[in-house]
């Protein structure tokens, strides 16, 4: 307890204390008089007065220090150390507020003599701390006006709203103080002498960086620099990395990209016309960002976090794009019609979805810049280290969100034409020759003058400007009926770009086809009156070049420079940046290896661009992007050491890139080099090095007959062992998959033998009833006058974990046995990662991070299960000692598990096959499927008809077998109507199913195809369930045989219905049972797309507890009751 007491009024001193004070005051008065008499004459002021510098009486200091003894454990012994702590607080160190540090500070200040130097020190330090706690002025506001990025970049900085806005002048980084010669060398001569690529300099980049890095660099450059042709001092794009090449640099360009519906933009298009003259890999990258935006808009609308994206009623009004400024609507007034209000509601719906989708997409863009692009520039991608240059770090005294204005110098720093690959050199040469065939019929590009080039470029730009973005030709590709390009064509472009090694940096490496463009660059830099190379270097505190060989040690290059410029100080910035000697590779440290000056400057600019951007710093958080959006663009150090480009690739081309494709995970270095790197790092097995190609087609089976046939014929339709599963079990264990067909048959036979035991069903029922009741009692908590529990997270998903742990001796850590390995939730996640490995729809963006994060846990689990299986197969002292450390005490459930394993081993199956193909797959299937059925059934009862709920509650309170059987029928019918389960199979034999495809079409399957078994649709097949929408608990048990199906039969239909009913029985008998009020009591679902855009009965995924992801099984729903059960 604290000794500090609340005081309404000062406490009166005791009589003894009053006497001491009077005597003390008299003595102090006499002492002051004697002291004054002895003071020297004042000589420190001009008016002959004394400075007010009163010494502090020792008694006062004793009292202060006595009061600070309470803080001695914090290292505070006296006023001086207190002041040091205050200084630490000012520097950002957290205050120990529970130690009453602030209150002791106030006490100290109040005890010290008024206006003493020490009192002022303490008070001033405290005031400084309090003032600096708040921003002055604020740098982030509430309100719609400042919520989103503006099209032109204005109001990014709220302190200086026009900083970085498109249509404003370039900044100047370095003052050009040195006098330059009046007559400078001809730009063409400069190019030919020190820039033009020679055959001897056609060499691969020393770090084997791919062209993709330079394609992203092209997007960055055109995001930041767009020189006005009439007034070259003006940049027509913003100074922020806001992905303007995709969205546009002003309102008019942005609205050309937008559809006005549901936040979407025009498909497979981008705004920046200049990039249509670049190699098609650049445009393909932008199309990939376009597709990411479209997906984000769909997900945001589906999740609708906090009602932010509630869809208006009815259908959106049709937009006439020919209407000038079609996006403007009249302001609403009290007399506005219903039609006008509806149009405004739809416009707001589109606006919010578009703007948040843009924030998320540009967020992914900057994450790729920092995590993939900069890491490759620094050669960190070839290490196993997580360090990254993070401009967002909160550093005391270094401003955030201050804005940014790009400079003319950096317009030149980012011109990396030396790195153009041989492939792209040829492509660019052919483009220019074709475009200027009339001006240079002989194809000699050295004859192309820049007046002719500029006229041709502006003519082409006018053509593009007259077209909508989705009307412009791109790479000779044809659009499909929905406006998109074929994935096959785009994947071919981007895969070849990943394989294409860039050229090295250095002098005499710029392709000759770029001659006229480089001439323009030199002329432009002169028109801007930019500083020289050495002046630019001095600005960054780099040593200026003292000689031409300092600039480039190649004697020929140095000689050419000396003939062009009389002195190193006269070398112009742009020619100097190109001709300067490049750095040598260093791992980590130097990956891009451009010239020394560029290497330094580009990092400074990267930090400034991100740190100065409000939407990438203080306004980059889940409240702006939503929880799901923030998670969608977040990186994890456990995945690729933070690299994140794979999210862009897998989202754009899910049917072509495997989740572990090295092409997707490290696209900025050529695959052969990354394969070598991964071997060195010991991570080779984590990735696929195959060139991307169309993956096997996935069909959807809708009918009950087809689902039943596909599930039961294990020879023709096999369990899908996806890439995730192959990785989780490690390469050395893949061979057992070949015996999958035999194993499925044996599994079924063994299961029938085990479950035929008359004691099996009662044992299962008792276990699940007891364990469910125990978990509710353990996990429930009092809230006001009720009891609340997350019935899914803490009960429904964990009871099956306990069951399979006991069945198969899994090392589950409990309060009764803390010596084991996994907690409940850890084991649940490990089993869930195995379960998702069988689901092809999760073998995508999210599957790779899950397998990376869970790999060690799953491997540990597999080894322990292997030990238990080996012990069952051949008991021995060493194995018995090892398994004794993890196994539960003998129980009926464990005995059945041992029998299950023994029967599988006796059938001739390999031990590894038993572990991975049966024990762990069954454990994961039971955990996920039973947990999912429990959640959806309970949700159905609580959210459905009150009469049905009352009926099941009455049955749950009966303990006779007949009531239990009747309750089973209610449970199965609820499971049928709430089913969200899907299962995948791999087609081994070509088959045709009539009326099984979408809209009753024939389902034709070829060997190698995948097929999704849509159990939700099968549950509503009238051929199996007459009047399928009616709740009918009298249907025969055999109609529900598919419920509980997982990768295979799991533990069979009979066990599933018994366990599920037993769990629900315990919950349904809770007194006063109801869903928790508000969002916590809702099972949040998100409708999922069917593979290949197939139309038909859809199923749902489930939001995680934080709404930051969509999982195949439910995660959270709270209930209330009057008692814990």
- The catalytically annotated residue of 170, 215, 247, 414 is 414
d(CA 235, CA 244): 13
**Inter-helix orientation angle 824-836/847-873, to 10°:** 100
Residue 277 structure tokens: 């003259």
Distance, in Å, from the CA atom of 266 to the CA atom of 245, rounded to the nearest integer, reads 14
Instruction: Encode burial over 699-724: b for 16+ CB neighbours within 10 A, e otherwise.
Output: bbbbbbbbbbbbbeebebbbbbbbbb
Task: Measure CA 812 to chain center.
Answer: 31
Rounded distance, CA 983 to CA 1045, Å? 8
Q: What is the rounded CA–CA span in Å between residue 342 and residue 336?
A: 10
Q: Residue 788 and residue 1124: Cα distance in Å, rounded? A: 8
Axis crossing angle, helix 946-956 with helix 961-977, rounded to the nearest 10: 150
Q: How far apart are CA 535 and CA 531, in angstroms?
A: 6
List of residues 6+ apart from 619 with CB closer than 8 A = 140, 401
Three-state secondary structure call for residue 1102: strand
Pairing mode, strands 698-701 and 1010-1014: parallel
Is 417 annotated for ligand binding? Answer: yes
What residues contact residue 26 under an 8 Å CB cut-off, 6+ apart? none
Contacts of 357 (CB under 8 A, 6+ apart): 263, 293, 296, 297, 300, 629
How far is Cα of residue 1024 from the mean position of the Cα atoms in its chain?
43
Phi, psi dihedrals of residue 715, rounded to the nearest 5°: -80, -40
- Active-site residue flag, 414: yes
DSSP string, 25-91: HHHHHHHHHHHHHHPPPP-SSSSSPPP--PPPPHHHHHHHHHHGGGGGGGT--SHHHHHHHHHHHHT
Using CA atoms, how far apart are residues 216 and 998, in angstroms rounded to an integer?
40
Query: 1119 in helix, strand or coil?
Result: strand
Beta pairing partners, 987: 717
| Exposed/middle/buried for residue 811 (C-beta within 10 Å: 0-12, 13-18, 19+) | buried
Q: Residue 274 is encoded by which pair of tokens?
A: 């200049």
Q: Which pair of tokens denotes residue 1010?
A: 């995948």
Under 8 Å between Cβ of 445 and 514: no
Decide: 519 and 450 in contact? Cβ < 8 Å. Answer: yes
Report the number of secondary-structure helices (H) and strands (E) in the chain. 41, 15
User: Do 581 and 366 form a contact (C-beta atoms < 8 A)?
Assistant: no
As annotated, the active-site residues are 414
Would you list which residues are annotated within the binding site?
417
Would you list which residues are annotated within the binding site for heme b?
417
């Amino acid at each position: 307890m604290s000794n500090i007491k609340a005081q309404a009024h000062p406490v009166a001193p005791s009589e003894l204390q009053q006497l001491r004070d009077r005597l003390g005051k008299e003595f102090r008065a006499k002492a002051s008089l004697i002291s004054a008499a002895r003071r020297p004459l004042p000589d420190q002021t001009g008016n002959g007065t004394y400075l007010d510098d009163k010494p502090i009486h020792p008694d006062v200091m004793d009292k202060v220090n006595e009061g600070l003894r309470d803080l001695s454990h914090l290292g505070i012994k006296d006023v001086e150390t207190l002041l040091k702590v205050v200084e630490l607080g000012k520097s950002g160190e957290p205050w120990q507020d529970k130690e009453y540090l602030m209150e002791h500070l106030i006490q100290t200040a109040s005890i010290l003599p008024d206006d003493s130097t020490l009192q002022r020190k303490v008070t001033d330090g405290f005031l400084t701390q309090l003032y600096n706690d708040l921003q002055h002025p604020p740098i982030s506001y509430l309100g719609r006006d400042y919520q989103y990025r503006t099209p032109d970049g204005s109001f990014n900085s709220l302190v200086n709203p026009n900083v970085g806005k498109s249509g404003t002048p370039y900044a100047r980084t370095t003052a050009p103080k040195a006098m330059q010669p009046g007559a400078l060398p001809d730009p063409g001569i400069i190019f030919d002498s020190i820039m033009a690529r020679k055959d001897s300099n056609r060499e691969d980049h020393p770090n084997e960086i791919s062209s993709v890095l330079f394609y992203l660099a092209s997007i960055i450059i055109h995001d930041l620099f767009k020189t006005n042709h009439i007034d070259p001092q003006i940049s027509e794009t913003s100074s922020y990395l806001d992905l303007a090449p995709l969205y546009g640099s002003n309102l008019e360009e942005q609205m050309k990209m937008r559809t006005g519906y549901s936040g979407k933009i025009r498909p497979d298009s981008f705004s920046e016309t200049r990039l249509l003259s670049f190699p098609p890999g650049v445009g393909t990258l932008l199309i990939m960002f376009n597709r990411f935006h479209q997906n984000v808009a769909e997900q945001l609308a589906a999740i609708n976090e906090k009602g932010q994206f509630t869809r208006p009623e009815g259908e959106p009004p049709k937009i006439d794009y020919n209407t000038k400024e079609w996006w403007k609507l009249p302001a609403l007034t009290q007399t506005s019609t219903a039609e006008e209000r509806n149009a405004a509601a739809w416009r707001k719906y589109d606006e919010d979805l578009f703007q948040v989708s843009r924030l998320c997409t540009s967020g992914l863009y900057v994450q790729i810049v920092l995590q993939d692009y900069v890491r490759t520039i620094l050669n960190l991608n070839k290490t196993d280290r997580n360090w990254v240059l993070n401009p967002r770090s909160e550093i005391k005294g270094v401003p955030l969100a201050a804005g940014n204005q790009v400079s003319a110098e950096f317009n030149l720093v980012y011109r990396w034409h030396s790195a153009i690959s041989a492939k792209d050199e040829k492509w660019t040469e052919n483009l220019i020759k074709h475009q200027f065939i009339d001006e240079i019929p002989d194809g000699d590009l050295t004859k192309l003058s820049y007046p002719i080039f500029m006229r041709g470029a502006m003519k082409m730009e006018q053509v593009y400007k007259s077209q909508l973005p989705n009307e412009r030709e791109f790479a000779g590709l044809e659009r499909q009926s929905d406006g998109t390009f074929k994935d096959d064509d785009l994947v071919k472009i981007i895969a070849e770009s990943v394989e294409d090694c860039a050229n090295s940096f250095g002098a005499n490496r710029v392709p000759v086809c770029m001659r006229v463009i480089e001439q323009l660059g030199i002329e432009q830099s002169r028109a801007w009156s930019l500083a020289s190379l050495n002046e630019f270097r001095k600005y960054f505190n780099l040593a200026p070049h003292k000689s031409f060989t300092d600039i480039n040690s190649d004697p020929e290059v140095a000689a050419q420079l000396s003939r062009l410029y009389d002195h190193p100080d006269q070398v112009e910035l742009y020619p100097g940046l190109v001709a300067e000697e490049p750095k040598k590779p260093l791992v980590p440290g130097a990956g891009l290896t451009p010239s020394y000056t560029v290497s330094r400057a580009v990092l400074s600019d990267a930090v400034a661009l991100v740190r100065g951007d409000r939407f990438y710093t203080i306004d980059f958080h889940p409240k702006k992007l939503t929880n799901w959006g923030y998670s969608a663009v977040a990186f994890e150090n456990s995945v690729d050491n933070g690299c994140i480009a794979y999210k862009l690739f897998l989202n754009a081309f899910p049917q072509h890139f495997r989740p572990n494709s090295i092409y997707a995970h490290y696209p900025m270095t050529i695959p052969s080099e990354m394969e070598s790197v991964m071997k060195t790092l010991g991570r080779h097995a984590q990735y696929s090095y195959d060139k991307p190609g169309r993956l096997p087609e996935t069909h959807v089976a809708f009918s009950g007959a087809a689902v039943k046939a596909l599930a039961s014929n294990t020879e023709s339709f096999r369990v899908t062992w996806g890439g995730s599963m192959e990785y989780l079990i490690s390469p050395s264990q893949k061979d057992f998959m070949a015996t999958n067909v035999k194993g499925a048959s044996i599994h079924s036979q063994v299961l029938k033998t085990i479950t035929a035991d008359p004691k099996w069903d009662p044992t299962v029922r008792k276990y699940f009833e007891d364990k469910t009741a125990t978990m509710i009692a353990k996990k429930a908590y009092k809230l006001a006058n009720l009891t609340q529990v997350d019935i899914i997270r803490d009960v429904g998903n964990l009871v099956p974990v306990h069951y399979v742990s006991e069945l198969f001796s899994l090392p589950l850590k409990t309060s009764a046995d803390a010596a084991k390995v996994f907690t409940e939730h850890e084991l649940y996640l490990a089993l869930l990662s195995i379960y998702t490995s069988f689901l092809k729809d999760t073998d995508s963006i999210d599957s790779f991070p899950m397998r990376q994060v869970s790999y060690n846990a799953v491997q540990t689990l597999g080894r322990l299960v292997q030990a238990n299986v080996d012990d069952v197969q051949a008991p021995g002292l060493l194995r018995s000692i090892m398994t004794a450390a993890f196994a539960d005490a003998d129980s009926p459930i464990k005995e059945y598990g041992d029998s299950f394993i023994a029967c599988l081993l006796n059938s001739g199956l390999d031990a590894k096959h038993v572990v991975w193909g049966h024990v762990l797959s069954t454990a994961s299937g039971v955990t996920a499927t039973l947990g999912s059925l429990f959640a959806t059934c309970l949700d159905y009862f609580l959210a459905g008809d009150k009469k049905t709920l009352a009926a099941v509650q009455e049955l749950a309170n009966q303990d006779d077998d007949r009531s239990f059987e009747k309750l089973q029928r209610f449970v199965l019918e609820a499971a049928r109507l709430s089913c969200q389960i899907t299962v995948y199979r791999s087609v081994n034999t070509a088959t045709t199913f009539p009326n099984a495809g979408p809209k009753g079409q024939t389902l034709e399957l070829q060997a190698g195809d995948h097929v999704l078994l849509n159990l939700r649709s099968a549950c509503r097949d009238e051929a199996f369930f007459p009047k399928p929408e009616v709740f009918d608990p009298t249907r025969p048990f055999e109609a529900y045989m598919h419920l509980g199906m997982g990768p295979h039969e799991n533990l069979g239909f009979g066990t599933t219905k018994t366990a599920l009913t037993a769990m629900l029985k315990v919950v349904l008998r809770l007194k006063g049972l109801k869903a928790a009020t508000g969002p916590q009591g809702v099972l949040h679902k998100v409708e999922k797309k069917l593979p290949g855009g197939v139309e038909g009965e859809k199923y749902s995924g489930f939001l995680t507890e934080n709404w930051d992801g969509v999982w195949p099984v439910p995660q959270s729903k709270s209930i209330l009751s009057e008692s814990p059960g």
